[in-house]
């Protein structure tokens, strides 16, 4: 639910939009009558409001674009009305004075469209068929981007360059002297022509990157030199990057040379700080080049429509590692049977797949544990301080409308109300980042919960850390930002970011880990122990919150499974409509939990057992459930994960050897991996005519896909902060 301040700002901008439309009418009336004061005021206000909205609320102006009243049309109408107004003002000779102004204005628009054409060509020449991060790609002749105003801000460029013309024409309307209008037109023309010429210099060989063919050749050579052994493949939306980020530390620890393969250009900057080379390959045709690389294993933390495209490569073995395990149906997606193997944490997930009966064979399920859980601290008994720290971390509402997915809607406010009523409770509230993205009720409940927490904090008081704590946090944040982000100029485009985010310095990963730990320590120290916290940012991460909490309250989600590694007490809200017995039977992860009703019954008893561990009857159940969910502690999860990766790589290598042997014995074979070749092999085994058995070869990429990539290249630049601050991105 938007805040009152946000709603007021939105209303103000809507008023500005309507005022601009009214200004058009006023400008027309002032030009035709003519009423010179009205004409001048409306002309200036009209342009000023358009400039304001272009900077502050471009989304509102996009509504005008849908009815073909885009920026170019609006400015043409404004200039036309100015010329009409000058024509009706006595004292201005239409032939001797206004005609040159009209011709000059037409030449200005020609220069504007020429600049736009140059901008399109420059953007296309600076759009490589792939993007990289943590890779030295200087051989591609990467250069800094042209000014943002010239290359990518068409609307702002036209409006700003039109300001001298508008001011000059208004001066002419006041003085009846066409000289002022001529000066304004000349200034605008110089800006447009000069901008076009300057922008065109990026088309010269010195500033131009290599063409697509040479870029792809460079990629092939880099892959041959780097020799990646295991990779993570990821495709998703703007809010899904956390699904990949949770696996970065594990991927970095694996034996061999890891790589991250992405499909969406914007995702390159969404991946957290890492030293692992990142390659984004949007087009399917270019993605197929991985078939000829040393890469033999790809790990998949999520399913997506584009996952099927990489699965076409037979020389690579694929394992689904998921981005968290829970008892929800989403953890047993039938898509999983498309992978060579499905890696799960422990026996519980193996059983879950067999019970789901979705076609995943038991032999393809590999138990690897959850290696990223190593930072979670073990249970140490009753709370040591004055306050009992409760972490309420509900999941989001999901796509299927099941009321049992999230407790936020039906139980969230009741749970928080019960916790806030206990004077010895300190609440950490960390909702799922996608809360409210599907069901507005979840977003509204989330806002009300945050308001309740803020109100409770206002009623609390006590000693606070001194200013040195805030200073320490600011210093640690600066240290971490220096290691994990890159400063970009406002005009930086994808190519310039590739240039800035080249090969990382040696030892940076260890420095980032140390800086993150120092930041987390300073973060918790900057708040008094009695203050409730609302944590909606990615940092501190959920595991850091686990280590602060004495008890967790959550929903049926992977958060529960991960928290169990600490063996601390936890509770799960039952908003499914089932009885408690049915709830425990259907969801194994809650078998060692305290079950809370939608009315929050059970919160008081939960707090009592947390403060008095001798009354905790679920200690042994949590220990047993931990092993059932996450597998044994020995050997360590990372060792099991690495062994699984090596074993899958060995299978891929064995397949390569078999294929080479088969190809060597069958003359005239095409290169392995093509669909036609596989059809021919199958036909020979069945003694059929290959032409009759082969399916048509699917095109490498769809026309719509190519168009989408081109659109993303031209318009998919990340937004720049309205306050003009430099953009920053993950290293």
- Above 70 in pLDDT, residue 716? no
Long-range CB contacts for residues 672-677, cutoff 8 Å, separation at least 24 = 672/314, 672/315, 673/291, 673/313, 673/314, 673/315
Average pLDDT, the chain: 89
- CA–CA separation, 29 vs 45, rounded Å? 14
Check: CB of residue 424 under 8 Å from CB of residue 386.
Answer: yes
The predicted-structure confidence for 491-510, as pLDDT tens digits, reads as follows 999 999 999 999 998 888 88
**What residues pair up with 320 in beta bridges, in sequence order?**
300, 342
**pLDDT at residue 5 greater than cutoff 70:** no
Position 324 confidence tier, pLDDT thresholds 50, 70, 90: confident
Look at residue 464 and tell me whether its pLDDT is greater than 80.
yes
Would you give the DSSP letter of residue 289? G
CB-based contact 603:390 (threshold 8 Å) = no
Q: Which residues contact 664 (CB under 8 A, 6 or more apart)?
A: none
| 355, 372 Cβ separation under 8 angstroms | no
Residue 359: Cβ within 10 Å count: 12
Report yes or no: 341 and 366 within 8 Å, Cβ to Cβ. yes
pLDDT in tens, 77-128: 999 999 999 999 998 887 788 899 999 999 999 999 999 999 999 999 999 9
Q: Please report, rounded to a whole number, the percentage of residues in the chain having pLDDT higher than 70.
A: 90
Whether 281 shows a pLDDT value over 50: the answer reads yes
- Determine contact, residues 540/473, Cβ cutoff 8 Å: no
Residue 684 pLDDT: 39
Which strands form 317-320's sheet, in the order they lie side by side?
131-133, 278-280, 258-262, 230-234, 297-300, 317-320, 341-344, 365-367
**pLDDT computed for residue 703 by the predictor:** 35
pLDDT of residue 429: 98
Q: How far does CA 506 lie from the centroid of its chain?
A: 27
Element at 540 (helix H, strand E): none
Q: How many CB atoms lie within 10 A of CB 478?
A: 12
Q: Over 70: is that where the pLDDT of 730 sits? A: no
Q: pLDDT at residue 2 above 80?
A: no
CA dist 575 and 558 (Å) reads 17
Worst-scoring range by mean pLDDT, 198-202, 447-451, 522-526, 664-668? 664-668
- Residue 647 near residue 296, CB atoms below 8 Å: no
**CA-based nearest residue to 339, from 313, 320, 326:** 320
Q: What three-state secondary structure class fits 365?
A: strand
Q: What is the mean pLDDT of residues 170-174?
A: 96
* Cα atoms in the Cβ-side hemisphere of radius 13 Å centred on 552: 34
Is the overall model pTM greater than 0.85, yes or no?
Answer: no
Q: What is the mean pLDDT of residues 177-192?
A: 96
pLDDT class for 588, splitting at 50, 70, 90? Answer: confident
Map tokens 């393969």 to a residue: 261
pLDDT of 708: 39
Paired residues of 318 in beta bridges? 298
Q: What is the pLDDT of residue 329?
A: 62
Highest mean pLDDT: which range of 120-124, 334-338, 481-485, 722-726: 120-124
Q: What percentage of the chain carries pLDDT values higher than 90?
A: 75
Residue 666 is predicted with a pLDDT of 67
Token code pair at residue 547? 């280590």
Within 10 angstroms of residue 346's Cβ, the number of other Cβ atoms is 22
Rounded average pLDDT over 524-548:
95
What pLDDT, on a 0 to 100 scale, did the predictor assign at position 558? 87
Residue 323: band (very low, low, confident or very high) from pLDDT cuts 50, 70, 90:
confident
């Amino acid at each position: 639910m938007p805040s009152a301040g946000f709603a007021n700002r939105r209303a103000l901008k809507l008023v500005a939009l309507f005022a601009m439309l009214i200004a058009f009418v006023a400008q027309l009336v002032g030009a035709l009558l003519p009423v010179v004061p009205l004409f001048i005021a409306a002309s200036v206000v009209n342009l000023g409001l358009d400039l304001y909205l272009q900077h502050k609320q471009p989304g509102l102006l996009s509504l005008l674009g849908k009815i073909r009243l885009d920026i170019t049309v609006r400015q043409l109408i404004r200039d036309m009305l100015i010329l009409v107004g000058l024509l009706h003002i006595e004292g201005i000779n239409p032939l001797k004075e206004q005609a040159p102004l009209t011709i000059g204005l037409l030449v200005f628009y020609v220069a504007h469209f020429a600049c736009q054409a140059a901008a399109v060509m420059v953007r296309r020449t600076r759009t490589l068929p792939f993007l990289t991060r943590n890779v030295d790609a200087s051989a591609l002749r990467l250069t800094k981007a042209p000014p943002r105003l010239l290359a990518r801000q068409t609307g702002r460029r036209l409006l700003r360059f039109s300001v001298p013309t508008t001011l000059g024409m208004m001066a002419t309307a006041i003085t009846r002297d066409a000289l002022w209008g001529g000066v304004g037109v000349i200034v605008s023309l110089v800006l447009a022509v000069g901008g076009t010429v300057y922008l065109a210099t990026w088309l010269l060989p010195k500033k131009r990157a290599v063409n697509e063919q040479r870029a792809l050749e460079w990629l092939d050579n880099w892959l041959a030199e780097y020799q990646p052994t295991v990779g993570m493949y990821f495709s998703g939306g703007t809010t899904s990057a956390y699904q990949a980020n949770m696996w970065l530390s594990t991927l970095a620890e694996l034996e061999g040379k890891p790589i991250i393969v992405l499909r969406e250009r914007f995702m390159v900057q969404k991946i957290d700080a890492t030293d692992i080379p990142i390659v984004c390959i949007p087009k399917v045709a270019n993605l197929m080049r991985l078939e000829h690389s040393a890469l033999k294993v790809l790990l998949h933390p999520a399913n997506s429509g584009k996952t099927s495209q990489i699965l076409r490569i037979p020389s690579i073995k694929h394992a689904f590692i998921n981005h968290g395990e829970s008892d929800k149906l989403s953890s047993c997606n039938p898509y999983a049977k498309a992978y060579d193997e499905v890696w799960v944490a422990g026996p519980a997930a193996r059983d879950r797949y067999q019970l789901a009966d979705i076609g995943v064979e038991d032999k393809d399920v590999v138990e690897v544990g959850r290696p990223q859980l190593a930072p979670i601290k073990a249970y140490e008994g009753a709370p040591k301080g004055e306050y009992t720290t409760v972490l309420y971390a509900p999941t989001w509402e999901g796509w299927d409308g099941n009321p049992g997915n999230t407790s936020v809607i039906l139980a969230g406010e009741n749970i928080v109300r019960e916790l806030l009523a206990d004077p010895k409770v300190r609440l950490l509230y960390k909702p799922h980042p996608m809360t409210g993205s599907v069901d507005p009720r979840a977003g509204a409940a989330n806002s009300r919960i945050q308001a309740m927490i803020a109100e409770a904090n206002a009623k609390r008081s006590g000693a606070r850390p001194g200013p040195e704590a805030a200073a320490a946090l600011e210093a640690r944040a600066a240290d971490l930002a220096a290691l994990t982000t890159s400063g970009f100029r406002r005009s930086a485009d994808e190519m310039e970011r590739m240039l800035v985010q080249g090969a990382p310095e040696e030892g940076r990963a260890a420095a980032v880990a140390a800086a993150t730990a120092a930041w987390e320590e300073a973060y918790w120290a900057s708040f008094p122990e009695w203050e409730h916290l609302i944590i909606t940012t990615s940092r501190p991460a959920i595991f850091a919150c686990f280590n602060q909490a004495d008890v967790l309250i959550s929903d049926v989600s992977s958060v529960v499974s991960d928290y169990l590694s600490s063996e601390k007490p936890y509770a799960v809200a039952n908003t499914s409509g089932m009885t408690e017995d049915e709830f425990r039977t259907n969801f194994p992860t809650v078998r060692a939990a305290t079950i809370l009703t939608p009315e929050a019954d059970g919160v008081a008893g939960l707090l009592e057992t947390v403060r008095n561990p001798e009354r905790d009857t679920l200690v042994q159940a949590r220990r047993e459930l931990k092993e059932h969910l996450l597998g044994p502690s020995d050997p360590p999860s990372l060792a099991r994960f690495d062994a699984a990766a090596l074993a899958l790589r060995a299978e891929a290598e064995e397949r390569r050897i078999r294929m080479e042997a088969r190809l060597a014995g069958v003359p005239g074979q095409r290169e392995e991996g093509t669909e036609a070749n596989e059809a021919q092999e199958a036909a020979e085994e069945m003694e059929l005519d290959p032409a009759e058995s082969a399916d048509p070869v699917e095109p490498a990429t769809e026309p719509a896909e190519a168009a989408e990539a081109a659109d993303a290249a031209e318009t998919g630049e990340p937004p720049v902060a309205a306050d003009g601050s430099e953009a920053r991105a993950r290293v």
